[in-house]
């Protein structure tokens, strides 16, 4: 699809192993840093589900609102995102489900 100037939602549903409070703080801090370190990131939200009975094994949700599709393209390879992915991968059980759409 062609680029638009509309904001983009980038959402992941993840299956992560249990972690200590310190591990969660480190992972969460890396996620929150994306807002100030990656151009085009407007909002970042990340947390565990509290509705486990209907989550089909998914334990965490991650949402990033980006300025536009061009920002999404720059987000993936950005060094801060790659650092977050490296930390995140230590806790992943399975690959995430990822969806992106125009807002």
Give the pLDDT confidence score for residue 5 in this predicted structure.
83
The segments of the chain whose pLDDT lies below 50 read: none
Place of tokens 């980038």: 10
Q: Decide: pTM greater than 0.75.
A: yes
Q: Cα–Cα distances in Å, from 17 out to 29, 31, 59, 77, 92? A: 18, 17, 8, 25, 6
Give the pLDDT confidence score for residue 4 in this predicted structure.
67
Q: CA geometry: angle at 14 spanning 92 and 29, to 5°?
A: 75
């Amino acid at each position: 699809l062609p680029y638009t100037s509309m904001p983009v939602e980038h959402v992941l549903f993840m299956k992560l192993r249990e972690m200590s409070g310190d591990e969660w703080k480190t992972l969460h801090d890396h996620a929150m840093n994306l807002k100030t370190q990656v151009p085009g990131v407007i909002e970042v939200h990340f947390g565990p589900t509290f509705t486990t009975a209907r989550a089909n094994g998914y334990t965490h949700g991650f949402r990033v609102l980006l300025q536009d599709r061009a920002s999404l393209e720059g987000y993936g390879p950005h060094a801060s995102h790659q650092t977050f992915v490296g930390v995140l991968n230590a806790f992943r059980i399975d690959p995430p489900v990822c969806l992106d759409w125009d807002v």
